[in-house]
Amino acid sequence: MDIDLNQTLENIAEFYYGKRLKDCTDRELYYILLDLTKDLLKGVEEIKGDRRLYYISAEFLIGKLLSNNLLNLGLYAEVRDILKKNGKSLAAVEEYEPEPSLGNGGLGRLAACFLDSIATLELPGDGVGLNYHLGLFHQAFEDYKQKEYPDPWLSDNSWLTDTGKYFPVQFGDFSVDAHLYSIDVCGYTKKKNPLMLFDLDTVDESIVQSGIGFDKDDIRKNLTLFLYPDDSDDAGRLLRVYQQYFLVSAGAQMIIEDMKAAGYPLQEISRHAVIQINDTHPSMVIPELIRLLMENGLTLDEAIEQTKQTCAYTNHTILAEALEKWPMGFLEQVAPQLLPIIEELDKRAKERSDNPKTAIIDENGVVHMANMDIHFSKSTNGVAKIHTDILKDTELHDFYELYPEKFNNKTNGITFRRWLQACNPQLTDWIISKIGTGFLKNADELAKLLPFVKQPQALKQLAAIKQEKKEELAVFLKNRQGIELDTHSIFDIQVKRLHEYKRQQMNLLSAIHLYQEIRNGYKPEQKVTIIFGAKAAPAYILAKDIIHAILVFSQIVDSDPEVSKYMQVVMVENYDVTCAEKLIPAADISEQISLASKEASGTSNMKFMLNGAVTLGTDDGANVEIHDLVGDDNIFIFGTKSEDVIESYAKGDYHPQAVLEAEPEVNDIVNFLVGEEMMALGDPECLHRLHHDMTTKDWFMALRDLEAYMAERKKAYAAYADKDKWYAMALTNIAMAGYFSSDRTIEQYNKDIWKLK
Ligand SMILES: *Cc1c(COP(=O)(O)O)cnc(C)c1O
C-alpha cells in the first residue's frame, strides 16, 4: 500500500475522537481500524468473470474479521507495529470485535474457509446466506449446566454494508421484502468477493424473553432472529421452513438479476451461474429457480434442465436425523407456489425409478430434500474419502446406481491464512525461517519441513513455540473464564459441537478412569489438562446431560488436592472461532474420537494437525486421510472400524450390557456417573438419565471402544515423555498438512464442478 498508514490512522483518531492514537482506548482503536479496513476494502478490485459461483448456505461461521482482513490486505505486520509503537497491542484491540454469529459448527466454518480460498484463487463467487441477529445462542454455564442466551453481535458499526437492495418474497398468505447486506471477503491476492446476507427490516429483537424464548408464530418479527430455531415443535419446524424459503427465494432472484444485468439469456443460465447447495437447508432453491425461470419465459422442460445443470449438492452427514424432510402441509403453508413444481419433480423422479428409497415425496406425503437435490442437480459430493465411499456403497447406494457419474469426493480443507498465519504467527515465522515463504501460496511446500524432523535444535524451537501458545491460552482462559492452567501439563483437547456420535462422553469416561487410578495410588509421570469446548443444541437433552457430567466431574477433580496434582478437566464456555484460534495452537493432543463411519470429515482435525498437535482418533472422516499421510508412527488410532460399525447397525448386534458383563472395569467407570461424588454436586435426574442411556442403549457405542481408547490414550501420554520424539511427530504432522489447505479443495471443486475459469 502506498499510503502513510500511521498518518491515516492518526487522522481517523483525530476525526472521531479528537485524540492521538496513543491516547485512544482499545475499543476506540478497534473502531478506528474497522473504519480504515472497511474503507480500504471498498477500493479492492472485485473478482469478475462470465461464469459465477453462488455458494448458498444456512451458515457462515466467519469468525472475527479484523486480523484476517489486515492479513489479506498485506497490512497485518505494519498495523501491529504501529500499535506497538503507541504502546498498544493488536490482540487487545481485537478483543473488542464481536464475533459474527452466523454459524454453528463445521459446516458453517467450512463455508467461511471456502469463501477465503475462492477469493484467494480469484474465482468469481458469492456466499449467499442469512443475517441472523442473535446467532445460534450464547452458551453460559450455571449450576454446572448449559444455559442459552441471545448472542447479539450487530451494531451500527459492523462489517456489514447495506446494498440498498430489496427482493420481495411471497409466503402463503403474506409477503415480505428481503433486504440485502454484504460483507467484503478479501483474498490473499487482494481481490474480493461478497458474502451476501439477507435480512428482514421488521425483525424485532425485543420479542425474545427468558433466555432464547420467543413467539414462534410471528414470522415478520422472528424470521432472522436465530440460526436453527428450536425444532422440537411444529411451530419451530415451520419457522425453519420460512427461513429456508426466504433465503432461497431472495437468493434465486438475486442470481437472476445478476444474469440479466450481465445480459445473459436465462435459457443459458447454466453457462453463467453455478449454485453450490451446502447441505439440505437451501434445497428449495431448486424448485424456486425453476419457478422463477418459468416466470421469465422458459418452458417447464427448459427450466428443469437449466436448473439441474446449474445446481450441485454437498452432502455433509449420513446421520438420518440431519437429512431434512418436510411434510407437504408445511410447504403448502410457507410456499404453496412450489408445490406443483415439487410434485412434478417427484413424478419425474418416480418415472426414473420406482424404488421408494429414491422418491422425493414418500408415501406419507413427506418431501425428502436430499433426494430432490440428487435427482435435480448435476453433482453430489461427500466431504472426505471414506464419507463419499459410504455414500456410494451404503447410504445413497440406490442413487449411486441411478447416477454414478454425479457422485464425487471433495475432501474438506481449512484456510491456512486464518488457521496458521493469523492464529499462530510464531509458528508461521518459524516455518518461514526454515523453508521460506513459498508455502503461503502453495501449501504443499510444507513438506520441505520433513528434513527438520531429524534436527534436535529445530525440534527444541518448535517446543518453545508450543509452550508460548500454551501460555497465551492460559492468559486467555484466565481472562475469559477465570480458569488457571498448568502450562507444563499435556494439553489434550476436544473441541467441537456436542453430539453423541462425536463421543465426548467416551472422553469423560476415560478421564474418570484416570481419576480412579490416581485415587488408587497411581502417579502419572506427566500431568494432563483435558479440555472440552462444545455447545449442545438447546433441545438435545442427552447432549446437555453430557455437558452437565463434564462440569460436575471437573469440579470434583479440582476439589481433590491429590488428584489435581496430576490432572485437570476444563470445559470452555461458549466455544466459538475466537476460542478455537487460541485453543488449537496450544494443543498437544487432538481428540478426534467419533464412532467410525459417523463423522463425515471433521475440519478441526486438520487445524490441530497444522498447528503441531498429534491426533488421537478413530479411523473416521478425514482422520483416515491424515493417517495415510503421516503413517502409523505419527498418529494414535484405535477403535472399531467403520465396516464393522455399519455391520453392527445392520444386524442390531451391539448391546452395552454385553460390554459391561465382559469388562468389569468399564462397569466401575460408568457407575461413577451415578456414584456418591457426582450425586453430591450434580443433578440426579440428568446423571441417571445419562447413565441409563449409556448402559442400556449407547447408540454410538462409546462403551464398545472405551478400553481401546484408554489404552491408546496412555500410549500417547507415554510418548509425550520423550520430547524429541514427540516434537518429531508434531513436525511430521505440520509438514504433511498441506493437503488440507482449502485452496486445494476449492481447486478441485472448480476443476470438477464449477469450471469458473
Ligand atoms: C473448525 C470448527 C468446528 C468444526 O470442528 P469439528 O471438530 O470438525 O467438528 C466447529 N466449531 C468451530 C468454532 C470451529 O472452528
How confident is the model over 277-335, as pLDDT tens digits? Answer: 999 999 999 999 999 999 999 999 999 999 999 999 999 998 877 789 999 999 999 99
Predicted confidence at residue 322, as pLDDT, reads 78
Q: Give the whole-angstrom CA distance, residue 152 versus residue 99.
A: 10
Q: How far is the CA of 229 from the centre of ligand 1 (A)?
A: 20
Q: What atom of ligand 1 comes closest to residue 104's alpha carbon? A: 11
Task: State pLDDT tens for residues 439-498.
Answer: 999 999 999 999 999 999 999 999 999 999 999 999 999 999 999 999 999 999 999 999
For the stretch 481-506, what's the b/e string if a residue is b when 16 or more beta carbons lie within 10 angstroms of its beta carbon? eebebbbebbbbbbbbbbbbbbbbbb
- Residues identified as active-site: 316, 496-497, 502, 603, 607
Question: Are 274 and 310 within 8 A, CB to CB?
Answer: yes
Task: State pLDDT tens for residues 701-717.
Answer: 999 999 999 999 999 99
Q: How far is the CA of 63 from the centre of ligand 1 (A)?
A: 11
List ligand 1's pocket residues with C-beta within 6 A: 105-106, 109, 496, 576-577, 580, 602-604, 607
Question: In terms of C-beta density within 10 A (0-12 exposed, 13-18 middle, 19 or more buried), how is residue 274 classed?
Answer: buried
Q: What atom of ligand 1 comes closest to residue 607's alpha carbon? A: 1
- Mutate which of 102, 493, 497 for ligand 1? The one with the most ligand atoms within 8 Å of its CB, which is 497
Protein residue whose Cα sits closest to atom 4 of ligand 1: 106
Distances from the Cα of 120 to the Cαs of 192, 316, 632, 749, in angstroms?
8, 24, 34, 14
166 DSSP β-pair partners: 179
Number of residues written out for the chain: 757
Q: How far is the CA of 701 from the centre of ligand 1 (A)?
A: 22
Residue 2's pLDDT band (cuts 50, 70, 90): low
Protein residue whose Cα sits closest to atom 9 of ligand 1: 496
Q: Give the whole-angstrom CA distance, residue 237 versus residue 228.
A: 9
Question: Are 6 and 79 within 8 A, CB to CB?
Answer: no
Task: State pLDDT tens for residues 581-632.
Answer: 999 999 999 999 999 999 999 999 999 999 999 999 999 999 999 999 999 9
Q: Give the whole-angstrom CA distance, residue 581 versus residue 576.
A: 9
Torsion, Cα of 577, 730, 631, 620 (10° steps): -20
Torsion, Cα of 346, 352, 356, 357 (10° steps): -100
Question: Are 382 and 388 within 8 A, CB to CB?
Answer: yes
Q: Give the whole-angstrom CA distance, residue 552 versus residue 666.
A: 20
Task: State pLDDT tens for residues 549-586.
Answer: 999 999 999 999 999 999 999 999 999 999 999 999 99
Protein residue whose Cα sits closest to atom 14 of ligand 1: 577
Of 514, 547, 548, nearest in space to 528 by CA: 514
Of 410, 404, 405, 409, nearest in space to 389 by CA: 409
Question: Are 636 and 710 within 8 A, CB to CB?
Answer: no
Torsion, Cα of 247, 249, 250, 254 (10° steps): 120
Predicted confidence at residue 321, as pLDDT, reads 75
Of 436, 512, 499, nearest in space to 669 by CA: 512
